[in-house]
Amino acid sequence: MKRIRIFLMMVLVCLVTKLSAQSPKPISKSVMENGKTIYLSRCLACHQVDGGGVPHLNAPLDGASAVIAADKAKLIRIVLKGYSDRVEIDGEYYSNNMSAHADLKDQQVADVLTYIRNSWSNKATAVTAAEVKAVRAKLK
């Protein structure tokens, strides 16, 4: 009897550790749908439907190390301020200028970034409206 209790306790401990280790929270369908709508109207022309970008002109988003990076503040700044640094991105240079999208609401910026972080071959944690708000406040 005692052995069974110990066994059951161990099963319970294993289950709890497994559940708590399941970090990146699943991303809701509505966030992805909203993000896609914004992507199609604001980002598609340059970054293309498959996130592949245009060689030497517009950086790809699919498979880009910065897009799935833990540093979400950088991504938020790029969307709010635009990007024309002409820096090396994953071994390439891109000559187009990315326009600023500061008119998007915090939730919209969050959703489009969550969308590009979880589309094509990308998989990364979601971006929240609160994170966008914090970055926007520092830009002013």
Chain contacts with ligand HEC (rule: CB under 6 A): 42-43, 45-47, 58-59, 61, 64, 66-67, 75, 78-79, 83-87, 89, 94, 96, 98-99, 101, 112, 116
Q: Please, what is the minimum distance in Å from the beta carbon of residue 127 to ligand HEC?
A: 10
- Which H or E run contains 27? none
Residue 123 tokens read as 């998989």
Q: Which is closer to ligand HEC, CB of 102 or CB of 130?
A: 102
Strand partners, 20: none
Q: Which is closer to ligand HEC, CB of 4 or CB of 87?
A: 87
Q: Which is closer to ligand HEC, CB of 79 or CB of 126?
A: 79
Q: Which is closer to ligand HEC, CB of 8 or CB of 105?
A: 105
Q: Please, what is the minimum distance in Å from the beta carbon of residue 84 to ligand HEC?
A: 5
Q: Which is closer to ligand HEC, CB of 6 or CB of 71?
A: 71
CB count within 10 Å of CB 18 equals 9
Q: Please, what is the minimum distance in Å from the beta carbon of residue 66 to ligand HEC?
A: 3
Q: Please, what is the minimum distance in Å from the beta carbon of residue 22 to ligand HEC?
A: 27
Q: Which residues contact 47 (CB under 8 A, 6 or more apart)?
A: 39, 53, 58, 59, 60, 61, 116
Q: Please, what is the minimum distance in Å from the beta carbon of residue 43 to ligand HEC?
A: 3
